[in-house]
Chains A and B, each alone.
Chain A
Amino acid sequence: MPEAARTSLRVRDPEVPDIGARPGLPARRDDDMRPYLPGVEPERQLNDWGRSERVEGFMDRTLVDFFYHHWFRVEVEGIENVPATGGAMVVSNHSGALPPDAPMIAKAIKEEHPHPRPLNITVEHFFKGYPGFSMLIPKMGCVAAHPANVQRLLYDEQQLVLVFPEGRKGTEKLYKDRYRLRRFGRGGFVDAAMRARVPIVPVCVVGAEEAAPIFAHLTPLAKLTGLTYFPITPTFPHFGLLGMLGYLPAKFRIRFLEPFHFDAEGLNEDKALVQTVAQEIRARIQENVWEMVKKRKSVWFG
């Protein structure tokens, strides 16, 4: 994938200043644009992001429900750290060939939270360009990880957004590197949360590494199919595409940590602060993941 098409929350496209900005007059701030958000049309089946309640509800009732309750037997701690109102960014560690962690976190908030809220999962731009994924992924509540998208969701629409700062580096790591967090991007997620002035809720997921382990990569096949990577897992590729869903029944534990708050305006201007906070969040998640692994008696029974 060319460097330009890499997914990152770092603001990358050069902003083009608007014409006609008169000297002496302050440029219009984006703040006062919130009253002008489009209204909801109840007759519609999809929202403006392409999310389909029908598709999402169907998946939720069938596949996700089965995996959550019976296959992974998810246990949740600290759900009260997810705010009941307002925008918030949920930041998690990431793993698995076709990562099972994102839908499980979304389902956990839906099942355990006193005020269940939809979770917008940020995914790579790759999915928008790949036939099939492009059609299905947005309908299940996934949004491309573009800084403008995250800003609109967090600040303008005051929604929950799930971000995996490790990105692809997290999902393509091999089984031998399990529970060792990769670099947290370039801190773009902290920048985005600070810009939107919403809290970051760190999340630790244990079990996903064993549920979909990757033993090796077949790079030539990845090139041939145009996929980001072509992994060898216990069930893929020898059981075909459905093998991607062939998760092992590991016990899942999800722990929501204390949120980080960024209420002051313009914090993201301080790049050193952004990097420090990003490292701090990564360290906090890493510590908790290791602690959870330490306490775990069995991979399969918890």
Chain B
Amino acid sequence: MGDGQEAEVGVVRVEDRRSAPRRVLITGLSTYWGGRLAQALEQSEAVEAIVGVDNRDPTRELERTEFVRVGTQHALLRRIVEAAEIDTVVDSRLVVDSVTTSPRKAHENNVIGTMNILAACSGSSVRRFVFKSSAHYYGTAQDDPAFFTESMGRPHPPTTRIERDIVEAEATVRDFAEKSPHVTTTIMRFANVLGPDVRTSHTTLFSLPVVPTILGFDPRYQFVHEDDVVAALGHAVFADIPGIHNIAADGVLALTEVIDLLGKRWAPVLPPWGTGLTAAVLRRLGLRIPPEMLGQLRFGRGLDNRKLKATGFAYRYTTRETVIALAEYLRLYPVTRDVAEPFRYEREVEDFLRWSPHVKNPAYRSQPLLSTPEAEELSRLAAAHAERTGTPGGASSVEQAETLVRAARADEVERDAAVARASGRSNGQEQSPAAPMERYDDLEPGEVISLLGSLETGDLLALRDHERAASARPRILAAIDGVLARREAAKGA
């Protein structure tokens, strides 16, 4: 597609160079964007922890993201933020399509929800707040500029409920940004999204055999590809980009051009006067055109996307390529419509796979991939073990790793036993338990924590003793306690 890149749905690699590890909270995990972003962040080694909250079940398959079922109660969110030492919050909940829910629920979610999340963040460990907003902020009017820049206000007050909600929500975020100068606050205003996976009102409109337009109008349209949306949110997580940013693909197309690219026909069936009335009639007939879309069908909208590009972000698709991606999907859809089953979140299964000691297959462990420091650590252990025993590795790399870990563990157990014997002999003396391995204290907390899951309970207890006595890093201690408590709980159940 476009520049010949593989477009695999659900896998967006986000740039994570030059950044310290992030501990991310995603609010609205079960929205399309929350799920997609979590999936993308899971691929990144620079993300240490991903916690997602929502009051519905996740809609996408997640590997290491922790899901907590909670709405936007700020007291509960605050406890999660504090407990998990979250430093980055991505708010992906905003409802930008009035067709998807009732106006009252949308208002509750967009305005009150945002207020609550900001309340949970202010004065906490959070250092980065990314707010997913929408270009509906600008609205559509006759005297709009051809390209909105971030510093432009709306020329007129909002006319639709969704626009009013978005303006109000952004005002709350702006207020938060002014009062919390130590938090990098990013507002991202996204243009209309299209793509092979996401469903919006525009997808519905373009799926019709004949696309209705307003007689005498050919508005300018700018889209952004779903993968670019995820990548842009990820970009905001890693690159500190304070301020408002427009996210829209390069190129503005006329609506007739879009419909031509989709290989459809257009019919100017909506009258220029009394358009709202006709839309109401169509709504009765089953075609729901939201009011904010009527404005776009009349006047269109263009965004200036250069500010985000200047921060080092590169779009993978232009508007034209985005439309072509949708066209390809629409052509394939009649063939594949029943093939893929939608993902269902099964809480018990997820818990079993994550916490049960019986899950032995490394592919299902909560840390399925070895990060670079882990791999280095493993190879060091392997070298030491090989030196001592003189045995080369097994057949497959997984088996090899497994044997090595087991052997290393045996070594440690042996050493711990020796330590216990030694400390038993020299009782009364204040002596710290020996380090579980050489240069243990030089390891980063993140590296240690990522290894905890693979240790036996006895080793964990020993490690905790050592840590308490030696450097007493609170994050490691809390993590050890957490793993132990979880194992207790699993045993109890």
Per the bound structure, the CA–CA distance linking A125 and B254 in Å amounts to: 18
Binds A, one of B114-122, B215-223, B395-403, B476-484: B215-223
A220 is an interface residue with CB less than 8 A from chain B: no
Q: A36-B309, A41-B251, A48-B252 are in contact. Are A16 and B153 (CB under 8 A)?
A: yes
| Besides A7-B143, A39-B250, A49-B146, 16 other A-B contacts (C-beta < 8 A) | A19-B185, A19-B187, A20-B243, A33-B304, A38-B251, A44-B320, A46-B257, A50-B220, A50-B254, A128-B142, A131-B272, A135-B216, A138-B218, A139-B218, A152-B147, A152-B304
- Cβ of B60 to closest chain A Cβ, rounded Å: 31
Question: Chain A binding site: helix, strand, loop or mixed by DSSP?
Answer: loop
Cα distance A224–B251 in the bound complex, in angstroms? 38
> Given A28-B310, A41-B318, A144-B146 in contact, is the A13-B299 Cβ separation under 8 Å?
no
Q: Which of B220, B244, B318 contacts A19 (CB 8 A)?
A: B244
Residues of chain A lying within 8 A (CB to CB) of residue B143: 4-5, 7, 125, 128, 144, 146
* Residues of A contacting B187 in the complex (Cβ-Cβ under 8 angstroms): 19
Asked whether B174 is an interface residue with its Cβ less than 8 Å from the other chain, the reply is yes
Task: State the 4 A-B residue pairs at the shortest beta-carbon distance, nearest first.
Answer: A131-B216, A20-B242, A38-B250, A148-B145
Contacts of B310 in A (CB 8 A): 28, 32-33, 36
Contacts A19-B177, A19-B243, A38-B251; A129 near B145 (Cβ below 8 A): no
Return chain B residues, CB-CB under 8 Å to A128: 142-143, 299
Q: Which residue of B lies closest to A39 (CB)?
A: B250
- Interface residues in A119-139 by Cβ distance below 8 A to B read 125-126, 128-135, 138-139
Across the two chains, which residue of chain A brings its CB closest to B183?
A20
* B296 in contact (CB, < 8 A): no
- Contact A36:B145 (CB < 8 A) given known A13-B152, A41-B251, A128-B299: no
* B142 close to A14 (CB less than 8 A): no
5 contacts across the A-B interface (CB closer than 8 A): A15-B151, A19-B244, A48-B220, A49-B252, A129-B298
**A16 to B, closest residue via Cβ:** B153
Convert B304-332 into 0s and 1s, putting 1 for each residue whose CB lies closer than 8 angstroms to a CB of A: 11110110000000101000000000000
- Choose one: A7, A48, A134; the contact of B217 (CB below 8 Å): A134
- Give the nearest-CB partner of A152 in chain B: B147
**Which of A18, A22, A126 counts the most B-chain CB atoms under 10 A from its CB?**
A18
Are the C-beta atoms of B147 and A148 separated by less than 8 Å? Answer: yes
Which listed residue (B216, B217, B220, B243) contacts A18, Cβ 8 A?
Answer: B243
Asked if residues A45 and B257 are in contact (CB atoms below 8 Å), the reply is yes
- A19-B178, A41-B318 as given contacts; A46 in contact with B152, CB under 8 Å: no
CA A197 – CA B243 in complex, angstroms? 28
- Which residues of A in the span 148-189 have a Cβ within 8 Å of any Cβ on B? 148-149, 152
Any chain A CB within 8 A of the CB of B458? no
- Chain A 50-94 per-residue mask, 1 if CB under 8 angstroms from chain B, else 0: 100000000000000000000000000000000000000000000
Q: When chains A and B are docked, how far (Å) is the Cα of A223 from the Cα of B310?
A: 47
User: Is A240 part of the binding interface, using a Cβ–Cβ cutoff of 8 Å?
Assistant: no
Given known pairs A125-B142, A128-B142, the reply for A21 and B214 (CB within 8 Å) is: no
B433 on the A face (CB < 8 A) = no
How far is it, in angstroms, between the C-alpha of A139 and the C-alpha of B184 when the chains are bound? 42
Decide if B16 is an interface residue (CB 8 Å cutoff).
no
Judge whether B149 is part of the interface by a CB distance below 8 angstroms: yes
How far is B250's CA from A148's CA once the two chains are assembled, in angstroms?
Answer: 18
**A26 nearest CB across to chain B (Å):** 14
Residues B243 and A131 in contact, CB atoms below 8 Å apart: no
Interface residues on B, range: 35 or more
Which interface class (under 10, 10 to 19, 20 to 34, 35 or more) fits A?
A: 35 or more
Which residues of A are in contact with B by a Cβ distance under 8 Å? Answer: 4-5, 7, 13-22, 28, 32-33, 36-39, 41, 43-46, 48-50, 125-126, 128-135, 138-139, 143-144, 146-149, 152
CB of B146 within 8 A of CB of A149, answer yes
Question: B200: shortest Cβ distance to chain A, in Å?
Answer: 22
Please state if A41 and B320 are interface contacts (CB–CB under 8 Å): yes
CB of B302 within 8 Å of the partner chain: yes
CB distance from B390 to the nearest CB of A (A): 60
Q: How far is the CA of A148 from the CA of B298 in the complex (A)?
A: 21
B153 closest partner in A (C-beta) = A16
Does B224 make an interface contact (CB < 8 A)?
no
The answer to whether B217 touches A13, judged by C-beta atoms less than 8 angstroms apart, is no
The answer to whether A148 touches B216, judged by C-beta atoms less than 8 angstroms apart, is no
Task: Give chain A residues whose Cβ lies under 8 Å from the Cβ of B144.
Answer: 144, 146
Which residues of B are found within 8 Å of A20, using beta-carbon distances?
A: 177, 184-186, 242-243
A148 touching B152 by the CB < 8 A rule?
yes
Residues of chain A contacted by B307 (CB below 8 angstroms): 28, 33
Q: Are B320 and A22 in contact (CB under 8 A)?
A: no
State how many angstroms separate the Cβ of A96 from the closest Cβ of chain B: 23
Q: Contacts A15-B153, A36-B309, A39-B250 hold; do A22 and B242 have CB atoms under 8 A apart?
A: yes
Tell me, rounded to whole Å, the shortest Cβ–Cβ distance linking B231 to chain A.
17
Residues from chain B with Cβ under 8 Å of A33 in the complex? 304, 306-307, 310
Q: B123 within 8 Å of A by Cβ?
A: no
A232 → B minimal CB distance (Å): 25
What residue in chain A is nearest B240 (Cβ atoms)?
A20
When distances are taken between beta carbons in the complex, the residues of chain B under 8 Å from A139 are: 218
Q: Does B394 sit within 8 A of A, measured CB to CB? A: no
Residues of B within 8 A of A133 (CB): 216
Task: Kindly provide the distance from the CB of B85 to the nearest chain A CB, expressed in whole angstroms.
Answer: 23
Chain B proximity of A129: nearest CB distance (Å): 4
Bound CA–CA A104/B320 (angstroms): 34
Which chain B residues border A148 with CB–CB below 8 Å? 145-147, 149, 152
Interface residues of B in 422-446 (CB under 8 A from A): none
Q: How far is the CA of A38 from the CA of B216 in the complex (A)?
A: 28
B136-163 CB contact bits vs A (8 Å, 1 = yes)?
0000001111110111110110000000
How far, in angstroms, from A246 to B147 measured CA to CA in the complex?
36
Identify which of residues 147-198 in chain B touch chain A, using a CB-to-CB cut-off of 8 Å. Answer: 147, 149-153, 155-156, 173-174, 177-178, 181, 184-187
Asked if B253 is an interface residue, CB under 8 A from chain A, the answer is yes
Chain A residue contacts of B185, Cβ below 8 A: 19-20
Q: Is the beta-carbon distance between A15 and B152 smaller than 8 angstroms?
A: yes
Name the residue in A4, A20, A43, A44 with the highest tally of chain B Cβ atoms < 10 Å from its Cβ.
A20
Chain B residues closer than 8 Å to A32, beta-carbon distance: 310
Q: How far is the CA of A132 from the CA of B243 in the complex (A)?
A: 39
Q: Is there an interface contact between A14 and B145, defined as CB atoms closer than 8 Å?
A: no
B189 to chain A, nearest CB (A): 12
Minimal beta-carbon separation of B151 from chain A (angstroms): 5
Looking at B145, B152, B305, the one whose CB has the most chain A CB atoms below 10 A away is B145
Contact A129 B309 (CB under 8 A): no
* Most B C-beta atoms less than 10 A away, residue of A14, A15, A48: A48
Taken together as a complex, chains A and B put the C-alpha atoms of A138 and B152 apart, in Å, by 23
Residue-wise, chain B 238-262 has the 8 Å CB interface mask toward A (1 for contact) of 0000111000001111100100000
> B246-290: which residues lie under 8 A (CB-CB) from chain A?
250-254, 257, 272
